[in-house]
Each structure stands twice: as structure tokens, then as C-alpha cells.
Amino acid sequence: PKRYSITLLPGDGIGPEVISVAKNVLKLAGSLEGIEFGFQEMPVGGCALDLTGVPLPEETLLVAKQSDAVLLGAIGGYKWDNNEKHLKPETGLLQLRSGLKVFANLRPASVLPQLVDASTLKKEVAEGVDLMVVRELTGGIYFGKPRGFGKNENGEEIGFNTEVYATYEIDRIARIAFETAQKRRGKLCSVDKANVLEASMLWRKRVSAMASEYPDVELSHMYVDNAAMQLVRNPKQFDTIVTNNIFGDILSDEASMITGSIGMLPSASVGESGPGLFEPIHGSAPDIAGQDKANPLATVLSAAMLLRYGLGEGNAAKRIETAVLDALDRGFRTGDIYEAGTKLVGCKEMGEEVLKAV
Amino acid sequence: PKRYSITLLPGDGIGPEVISVAKNVLKLAGSLEGIEFGFQEMPVGGCALDLTGVPLPEETLLVAKQSDAVLLGAIGGYKWDNNEKHLKPETGLLQLRSGLKVFANLRPASVLPQLVDASTLKKEVAEGVDLMVVRELTGGIYFGKPRGFGKNENGEEIGFNTEVYATYEIDRIARIAFETAQKRRGKLCSVDKANVLEASMLWRKRVSAMASEYPDVELSHMYVDNAAMQLVRNPKQFDTIVTNNIFGDILSDEASMITGSIGMLPSASVGESGPGLFEPIHGSAPDIAGQDKANPLATVLSAAMLLRYGLGEGNAAKRIETAVLDALDRGFRTGDIYEAGTKLVGCKEMGEEVLKAV
Ligand SMILES: CC(C)[C@H](C(=O)O)[C@@H](O)C(=O)O
Ligand SMILES: CC(C)[C@H](C(=O)O)[C@@H](O)C(=O)O
């Protein structure tokens, strides 16, 4: 049988619960497709801070780099919220993304027919939404230098960051976006603030220049403020969206909430080579951690993305995706997506229902 | 009678149509309260480019500075979209904000009972929404230096901008936000990305430090990605939001679209002294310009904000606001807010209906 090594990074809060479910689903789906996994669990985020004093231990990055794919639960919690920057759980996540060079973050947001009522948008606006945000993940204002604290001419304290993009960074994310659009409905909307920011002007120029290589993709441009509006007004107009790190952070979260079921949404982060990083969109939800209440489906679907985008194992991925829909069709719901007439289950039980259907 | 001088900046697209309506409403409401206006019309944006070669002629800024308040229509259009930065209509607007030193941009977004169906959000989510975004308007990444184009170590082209805030900039906008919250429902949510950006860490620190001066205001903090979600999930949780220039650009547009009636939303930009700048949230809508289709109510309500926040003429402001509600109650609607059972009118006719009610 084929064998892959997977790094599991449960992280904080509900991370361990949802990773444990996803691991079992991955195992079963793999074994039915003749795939074996070797799992190695490593600390990252707040738990790594408590254990080792840093949010991303060297050992964790090393193991992750040497594996075939990385599955992350969630990081962060109130406990570490006031830590200094280099001791924040979030810093560990950023170091991980950067260390794995996963510059392309794919964030699908689609409204499942089973869950259309979960959206706060009117049914006719929400139903049929199926979009993908391609977010640049290792550049821009998240990583740009110079950054820090200092003084201005008048001796007043300042805090500053640099939004910066080089042509190669724009080109490689644009290429992935065009290819993603090609495999979807052939529409790509590039989001920027080119009416104000030089970094965005270069972004728009490079994305536009690449369009001729993809004649089957219809490219449009939109300012970020307008995009934030259009996602509310008519999300169905979007197929694939490509944007920078910070705008992608904001817009992908907005898009995910439009589906009304953020507990369902996976993400994939990939680079030019090396292992990809797969994680649910949702956070560590410290308020319900350890209570068997979390929705494991976003992590289970992230495992499916891991199979498809990380390992090229489309069949095993399909098994998982179908199993998730099947569990929903049979009426099982965790608290976050529960509605009258469905069956409320916990994290573990939802996992078992998916396993039955794999 | 009291006399005020008002600079009118009709600008581009539908700007002239909506300004003409607002001017008449302002005149009438003023005269009924013993107020006289002297109006001076000046060019800004695309029309200024065509006329003088620059998007903000010196003369325009001078007249604006010497007046008691400035009322702007809208700027921009396809024609100038590919202009270089210093020749963009948007640059004229930024120069105007900066020249008038109007660092505080107040953007109310409320769902009127008459228009609750215009929202794409479910009725129970949309009704009762009444929030105010206080956006920092003359700092941050919009104006930060260094900015421009250059080369990185590898000789590749880069585009870059600087997000920077000094303590005094944060303090003065925070103070306005606390005071705004005090006059509203006493809840202030400061939005930042303090888990990643140093500029945001300083922002959070200064806003937090001011809280003890306003014991009657309940301060909370939220990351910008979460705020973009929460505006969709449950916009009613917000009263006053304070945030930086770029996050404010994105979130205030998202919030305005949640009301479903962006053609209704005014804004006020004020500084420490000198005339304020009042403008509708919406853009220049070049596709319907000159067709008498535009909704003038956002500009009419901006004129009301001009009276209240710019001139301290609350009674005249109230007259206008009441007149707008009255015209809506009598069933008059422009195309953007039209629904079956109401009376479709053009820009001018809507203006007349408001005048009747003033
Ligand atoms: C936790 C935080 C640093 C992170 C980000 O901003 O990228 C998160 O919001 C995300 O989108 O994955
Ligand atoms: C036109 C543009 C420069 C402007 C901005 O980004 O501030 C607009 O979007 C706004 O919000 O008033």
C-alpha cells in the first residue's frame, strides 16, 4: 500500500477534539483506498508556549517539513491574548506558514443545500453560493519590513507595518488563482485597493498581465471596500477571488460567515513544493473546548482537502466529502448548525456518523 | 438671520444631481430656522482633472477651508480609472480630507423600518440595526510613508505602503469615538489586527488606556476578520465601532450594505477645528449619471449631518431627517430602494417630495 506521513498539530481549545475525529476519518478513508498513514503529533500555538516557551518549536517545524502533509486544529486562547508578539500563539501559526512556504491559501465558502437556513442571508441570496477565496499567505503586511515601534519627528510613539509585494509573489499567487478558476467556473475576481495603494497598483498590473495566458478565464478587478459590500449584496456573483494577505483574511472570514456554517469550512495552504498545511477556518473556541460540543466537520473536510490538494488522492477525498454530506442528510447536526427537526450530536458522535458513511 | 458659507463640491457622475437636490433642501430647512446660506460651487475629482489638470485645484481647497462646511457629491468614473496616481479623482478626495484635516469619519448605518426588506439579510437579523462606524480618515496606510515602487534585494520590482499610527492620531480619534458612544447606547467596539500588526498593538493600547476616562462607555476589542463576520452574523450587537482608515473603509461599506440601502447613507468627516466635510457613502455611479435616477437621500441626509455636526444647527437637521422619513412613509422610492407597492420616482421628484415635507 501507499504510505504517507502526516503531521498532526492539534493546537489549542477545540483543536485536539476535532483533530482526533479527522484522524480517524482519514485513516478509514485511506485504508479503503489502499493508503496507509503514519501520524506524528506535535505542539504548536498556546500549548507549545506552555510546553516549550515558544509558539513554534523547531522540532515541530522540522517534523512538519519532513512529512507529506500537515493537518492543524486551531490555535490561541484568552490565556495568551496579552502575550508579547513573539510569544503569541498566532505568531507560531505565522511562522509555520512562512516556514512551510505555503503562500497560497484556498478558502472555499459554499452554502450546502442542507444548511441554507443557517445563513443570516435571505434564502434566495444564500442558496447556490459557491466561491473560493485564494488568499496570499506569506507576504504583504503580515510579514513586510520594516515593522515595529518607534518615534516620529515630534518624539511621539508610533507603531508601523509595511505592506509590500514583489512581482514574483504576485505572479505565483495569481497563477494558482487562474488555475483554480479554470477548474471551477472560469471567473476570477482580483480584489485590491489600487485607487489608493501602490502595493495594490503593482498587484493589479501583474494580475492583468497574466490574463492573456488564461483566455478561458474571465478576469475582473474590484476594490476591497466594494468586494466587502458585494459579498453581502450578491455573493453568487463570485466564483474565484484572489487577493492579498490582509484583505484575504477579512474577506474570506466574511464569505465564510455568509454561508452561516463556519464550523463546516476547511482550508488548504500550499506552496511550490513541500507539504501543504490544512486547517479549518474556525478558531480554537476556548469557551466550548473539552466539552465535546465542537463541530469536527471543518477539520474532516480539511483532511479531504489534504488528500486532494496535498497528496493527489482524489478518490479518498471524495469518500470523505460524500460521507460528510451523508451524515448531514441523515439529520445529524452539532450545536452550531442545529435547527429544529434535526438530531443534535456532539463532536465524537458526529465523527462516528461520518465514519459509518465513509 | 445667521449666515453660513457652504462649499458645494458636486464632483462626478451623479454628484451634480444629488447636490442640486440637497442644496434646495438645505436652503428651505435653513430659511425656516432663520438661517441663510451662501453657496459656492467648486470642482473636485474627475471634472477638476478635465478642467484644470489636477484632481484638487488649490482654489477649491482654499474656498473649502474658508467656508463653514463642505458638502461633496461623489467623485470618479471609468474615464479616469487608469490614470496615474497623482491624476486619479480619488487622489483629489484624499487631498481634500487631508487638507481640511478631517481625521474623524462618522458613518452611520441604520436599517429604517420602512426599508427593512431592502436588506439581503433576514428580517429578524436586519431590523433594528443602528450602528456608527468611526473611521480614522487622515492617517494609516492611506497616507503613510515611505510608499511607492522600488526593487528588492533580488532586483525585482516591488510596490509598498506603510501602515503607521502615532499616539496622538489614535488618541484624537478614540476620544471622538468614546464621545460618540456616550451620546449613543454607550457601547464602543475597537477593531484592529493586534494579533499580527504592531500598528494595531499600539492602537489597542492607547484606546484601552482611554477607557477609564469614560466609565459610562463599555469598551470591547475585536479583530478585523472577526468584525467582518460579526457584521453579517449579528449586526445588532454593535453600537459604535472605531477603527483605522483601511479597516474602516472596508467595514463601513460592509455595514452600509447590510442595511440594503446604501443610497440612503450619509457621512460626516470632522477635525479639531475648521469646516467639516459631508458626503454620501455611495460612489459616482457613472452608469446612471445624468438620467435623473439617482437617490438623492444620502446627500440630503449628509446635509442634515452638516447642519448638526458642522454648524451645530440641530433643529434644521431634524427638519430634514423628519422630511426624509415622511417622503418614505408616503411611499416614494427611487429605483435602488423600489419595491412593489411603492411609488417609483426620479432624483428630482424625490427632492420635491422631501421639500414638501421640510
Ligand atoms: C490567527 C491569525 C493570525 C490568522 C490570520 O490572520 O491569518 C487567522 O485569522 C486566519 O485567517 O487564519
Ligand atoms: C474613493 C476612495 C479613495 C475612498 C476611500 O477609500 O476612502 C472611498 O472608498 C471612501 O470610502 O470614501
Which residues does residue B278 pair with via DSSP β-bridges, in sequence order?
B71, B268
Q: Ligand 1, closest atom to CA A281?
A: 12
A168 is catalytic: no
Question: What is the grid cell recorded at A39?
Answer: 501520524
Residue pLDDT, tens place only, B215-254:
999 999 999 999 999 999 999 999 999 999 999 999 999 9
Distance CA A30, CA A320 (A): 10
Cβ-defined contact of B229 to A257 (cutoff 8 Å): yes
pLDDT in tens, A71-88: 999 999 999 988 999 999
Give the separation between CA B174 and CA B213, rounded to whole angstroms: 11
What is the per-residue burial (b if ≥16 Cβ within 10 Å, else e) of A240-264? bbbbbbbbbbbbbbbbbbbbbbbbb
pLDDT one-digit tens code per residue, B80-135: 988 999 999 999 999 999 999 999 999 999 999 999 999 999 999 999 999 999 99
Q: Do A232 and B254 touch (CB under 8 A)?
A: yes
pLDDT at B183: 95
Catalytic residue among A253, A326, A338, A348: A253
| Cell reading at B209 | 488606556
Which residues of B119-249 form beta strands (DSSP E)?
A: 130-136, 148-151, 157-166, 187-192, 218-223, 240-243
Beta strands in A233-342 (DSSP E): 240-243, 266-270, 276-280, 332-333
Number of H helices, E strands in chain A: 13, 14
Calculate how far, in angstroms, residue B207's C-alpha sits from the geometric centre of ligand 2: 24
Type of residue at A272: E
Amino acid at A277: L
Q: Which of A159, A167, A250 is the closest to B199 by Cβ?
A: A159
Q: Which has the closest alpha carbon to B232: A129, A229, A268, A248?
A: A229
The 3 state secondary structure assigned to B50-97 is HHHCCCCCHHHHHHHHHCCEEEEEECCCHHHCCCCHHHCHHHHHHHHH
* C-beta separation of B23 from B41 below 8 A: no
The cell numbers describing A3, all together, are: 504510505
- Rounded Cα gap, residues A96 and A46, in angstroms: 14
Collapsing DSSP to helix, strand or coil, B342 comes out as coil
Is A313 strand, coil or helix?
Answer: coil
Mutate to test the interface with A, among B246, B256, B258 (most CBs of A within 10 A): B246
Helix axes B297-305, B347-357, angle to 10 degrees: 40
What is the per-residue pLDDT for B133? 98
Alpha helices by DSSP H, listed for A272-346, are: 297-305, 311, 314-329
Mean pLDDT score, A214-235: 97
Q: Answer whether residue A1 shows pLDDT above 90.
A: no
The 3 state secondary structure assigned to B33-49 is CCEEEEEEECCCCHHHH
Cell numbers linked to B280 = 454620501
Is A81 noted as a catalytic residue in this protein? no
CA–CA separation, B63 and A260 (whole Å): 50
- C-alpha cell of A152? 516620529
> B186 CA to middle of ligand 1, Å?
30
Q: Does B136 touch chain A (CB under 8 A)?
A: no
pLDDT, tens digit, for every residue of B38-52?
Answer: 999 999 999 999 999
Let me know if A193 is a catalytic residue: yes
pLDDT in tens, A28-84: 999 999 999 999 999 999 999 999 999 999 999 999 999 999 999 999 999 998 899
Q: Residues with beta carbon inside 6 Å of ligand 2?
A: A 195-196, 225; B 90, 93-94, 249
- pLDDT tens-digit profile of A110-134? 999 999 999 999 999 999 999 999 9
* Strand order, beta sheet including B240-243: B35-41, B2-11, B69-74, B276-280, B266-270, B104-110, B130-136, B240-243, B187-192, B218-223
Average pLDDT over residues B309-318: 97
Radius of gyration of chain B from Cα atoms? 20
CA distance A285 to chain B (A): 13
The residue-averaged pLDDT of A276-285 equals: 96
Residue A59, C-alpha cell as written in the block = 522540532
Picking from B120, B157, B228, the nearest residue to A125 by CB comes out as B120
User: Mean pLDDT, chain B, as a whole number?
Assistant: 97
Q: How far is CA A25 from the centre of its chain?
A: 19
Catalytic residue among B249, B293, B309, B336: B249
As a whole number, mean pLDDT of residues B3-9 equals 98
pLDDT of B238: 98
C-beta of residue A204 within 8 angstroms of C-beta of residue A221: yes
Dist. CA B59–CA B51, nearest whole Å = 13
Rounded Cα gap, residues B208 and B219, in angstroms: 8
Residue B287: partners with Cβ closer than 8 Å, 6 or more residues away: none
